[in-house]
Each structure stands twice: as C-alpha cells, then as structure tokens.
Amino acid sequence: MAIKEPYRAIYNNLYSENSRQAILIWWKELEARKGERSELRRADSPIAAAMCKATYRLQNVLPYWNHEPEILAIVAGILSTVTSSLSTIESFPMQMASKNGEKPCVSESRFQKIIKSHDLPELYLQTRRAVKLIEGPINILSLADGIISFSEIILGKEIPSSKKSVTYQWANDYYSKLL
C-alpha cells in the first residue's frame, strides 16, 4: 500500500509570493466591501465581472499581471463566490472530490465539464457552480491558479498535452482524492 504524501501546492501562474499574498489580501478586503462583493457575485459572465469595480481593485494589486484582462475578470468573479478560504488545505480539485456523504461534493460529470470547457463563459459558469457545491473553506490560490491555466488553454496560449498541464494536475488531484 502506497503512502500518500501531503499536498504541496503547485502554482503554474501564481509563482510569485507577492501575487499570492495580493490575491489573499484582495479577497479579504472584498469581504469588507459588501456592495462591491455583491455586485461581483451577481456578475453572470466574464464580461459582467469585467464591469465591476472590485475587478479593477484586483488589477491594481497585481501590477505585473501578464494575462488577458478577461482572465482577471473571471478570477475576480469566481473568487467573489467563495465564502471561506484557507490556503494551506488541499487543492481545489481535491476539495471538489471530497465526500459529502457517499458522493463527492462535485460530481465527476460536473468536474469533466470544468476541465473540458470550450470557452471562457462556460469555464466561468461551471467553476462558479462547483464553488457553490463545496462546503467549508476553499483554497482560493489553487482555484485562481487553475482558472488562469484553463483560461490560457481555452485562448490557445498553453498546450494542454504536457504532464505539467493543469488538466493533468486537476484530474490527478480529483481522482486521487475520489478513489
């Protein structure tokens, strides 16, 4: 029987400690800005999230953001739906596979919809739905990093075939926890 190692975060995009801290601080400050948080939570698409002031607050704390602006809106919109965060727990895909009774919080078919998203609005919608299904704190850094990676794949900026790809990492984390 193999012994499982404790989860160690792998960040493909949030490799700077400053970026990770900036996102955590932004998310905590968003809690205090109830109106902005509500506006962002009501955003039903990446475009709607891009129209929210809180998205630009996130942009201001990430001065070296080198991804498409629409990806920033997706990150902001999805993170606004997280009600409790803890960055030292399992990865977001592991949390989706965590059991809620006999079944995982996020079903295999819903998980597959996320990793097979064909466009940014679909990724936004499916990931927001998954966040709402998870009870307890969510690893927002793992979530944000995955959103960025999947968005890059959808936009054709990352080749998903390598073992390092987010698709492989998320599937490995999800099914390792599920089985």
**Where residue 2 falls among pLDDT bands split at 50, 70, 90?**
very low
Residue 5 lies in a domain: no
Alpha helix (H) residue ranges in the chain? 17-32, 34-42, 46-50, 53-61, 69-79, 92-97, 108-115, 120-133, 140-154, 166-178
Q: Residue 132 is part of a domain; what is its CATH number?
A: 1.10.520.40
* Averaged pLDDT, 121-146: 95
> pLDDT by residue (tens digit) across 72-82?
999 999 999 99
> pLDDT by residue (tens digit) across 15-46?
788 999 999 999 999 999 999 999 999 999 99
Spatial distance between the Cα atoms of 25 and 139, rounded to a whole number of angstroms: 14
pLDDT at residue 48 is higher than 50? yes
Residue 12 lies in a domain: no
> What pTM was computed for the model?
0.91
Lookup result for tokens 């996130």: 58
Q: How much is the pLDDT for 3?
A: 41
Q: How much is the pLDDT for 160?
A: 63
* Averaged confidence pLDDT in the chain: 90
Residue 2 lies in a domain: no
Residue 89 lies in a domain: yes
Structure-token pair, residue 37: 């948080």
DSSP, collapsed to helix, strand or coil, labels residue 99 as: strand
Q: How much is the pLDDT for 8?
A: 60
Residue 76 lies in a domain: yes
Q: How far apart are the first and last CA of the chain?
A: 14
> pLDDT by residue (tens digit) across 87-125?
666 899 999 999 888 899 999 999 999 999 999 999 999
Residue 170 lies in a domain: yes
Lookup result for tokens 């390598």: 162
Structural domain including 23 reads 17-178
| Structural domains of the chain, count | 1
Residue 154 lies in a domain: yes
